[in-house]
Amino acid sequence: MVDARPAVQALPAYRPGRNPADLARELGVARAVKLASNEVSFPPLPAVVQALAAAAAETHRYPDNGAVVLTAALAERYGVDPAQVVPGCGAVMLCQQLAQAFNDPGSSIAFAWRSFEMYPLLAQVAGARAIAVPLVSGRQGGPADTHDLEALAAAVDGTTRLVFVCNPNNPTGTAVRRVELERFLDAVPAQTLVVLDEAYREFVTDPDVPDGIELMRGRPNVAVLRTFSKAWGLAGLRVGYLVAEDPAVADAVRRTHVPFSVSVLAQAAAVAALASEDEVRRRVAAVVAERDRLTAALRERGFDVADSQANFVWLPTGDRTAELAAALEARGVITRPFAGDGIRITVGAPDEDDVLLAALDAVALERSAAATPGG
């Protein structure tokens, strides 16, 4: 028998969000809603649909391995050299490439926790030590939901090759601000690469939360990750990108990519999406407005919801997490629970969020009845 490496055998299986059509059939209801994967509820951009139709005629050919057109478009957008830009098969693949490029067994990767669930798995696969620094409360009396950058900087040691700062943080939606982030970047040793993971950057409305690409400039040990999966609506095509201040960092990541992993369709769609930025901004504004409505409605129901800077909200439900998520699913609402911590809920279309709120009300009513003597 051929055995996989112990580190690989120990990896938990990835569990994607349930298919809402499957859940609806299981429950015998007309509709279930999925608020688990932080997708936008809008259909693909019209320009993307047109680009995909045109590109489909080329799918018998391999894609451009260097994604030259997309790389040039991103470089122009951010005012950097194309040598600083690396497209990839989603930002998560670029995270893996970063670990492959910079971590040897015995090195370490540092990150806040709870944060993006791939970070500890990257360390495990690379044979690196995971340095998980607990979150702290972002507001007086609130739950632990925000990066402790001072503790994260103190945790970095001579073995630390990578530090991930997820900003806004997934799954809590909170974000660290300019002064604290600049102080942190100045404190990290020059030989440690800080990766600002900004998958949700487009949804940030707090003016004190800085653009990571602007903070990156002049700091050769800083790189920024972004994705087309969220605000740009290309989750099904898998395309993200890294921008590094030091072209040598980008070159190292480029060397670890799987050849042709950014498909013909993904490249064409991403270029078309970039050319549709005005429409994307309108869609983002609609998501933000709905985020505000959903946040207010959840607070009215007694949930301690922090101001989110992403396209999801976080319910710090602690030990009640699994029970509440199961109760919502039984009512046709799919969320993303993190056992013992909380539930991440994607900001959906208004009618989808209304289904969620009605389900929460039904759960509360049932609990109230159960708690009433004779109920």
Q: Encode pLDDT of 68-117 as tens digits.
A: 999 999 999 999 999 999 999 999 999 999 999 999 999 999 999 999 99
174 in the same domain as 100: yes
When comparing pLDDT for 170 and 24, which is higher?
170
CATH number of the domain that residue 327 is part of: 3.90.1150.10
Q: Is the pLDDT of residue 368 over 80?
A: no
How many domains does one find in the chain?
2
Is position 49 within any domain? Answer: no
Is position 373 within any domain? Answer: no
Is position 54 within any domain? Answer: no
Instruction: State residue 183's pLDDT score.
Output: 98
159 in the same domain as 40: no
Helix/strand/coil (H/E/C) assignment for every residue in 240-283: EEEEECCHHHHHHHHHCCCCCCCCHHHHHHHHHHHCCHHHHHHH
33 in the same domain as 107: no
- Please identify, among 247, 275, 303, the residue that sits at the C-terminal boundary of a domain: 275
Mean pLDDT of the chain: 95
Q: Give the model confidence (pLDDT) of 33-43 as tens digits.
A: 999 999 999 99
Q: Give the model confidence (pLDDT) of 122-135 as tens digits.
A: 999 999 999 999 99
DSSP 343: E
- Please identify, among 218, 246, 275, the residue that sits at the C-terminal boundary of a domain: 275
DSSP for 178-233, written as a single string: HHHHHHHHHHS-TTSEEEEE-TTGGG---TTS--HHHHHTT-TTEEEEEESSSTT-
Instruction: State residue 374's pLDDT score.
Output: 57
Q: Give the model confidence (pLDDT) of 228-262 as tens digits.
A: 999 999 999 999 999 999 999 999 999 999 999 99
Instruction: State residue 373's pLDDT score.
Output: 66
Banded pLDDT at 13 (limits 50, 70, 90): confident
Instruction: State residue 122's pLDDT score.
Output: 95
270 in the same domain as 254: yes
Average pLDDT (195-216) is: 98
Q: Which of 185, 223, 8, 216 is nearest to 98 (CA)?
A: 223
| 14-18, 164-168, 311-315, 336-340: range with lowest mean pLDDT | 14-18
Q: Is the pLDDT of residue 164 over 90?
A: yes
Dist CA 38 CA 233 (whole Å): 10
Is position 67 within any domain? Answer: yes
Residue given tokens 């609402």 in the structure block = 333
208 in the same domain as 122: yes
Tell me how many degrees the CA angle 60-63-65 measures, rounded to the nearest 5.
150
293 in the same domain as 253: no
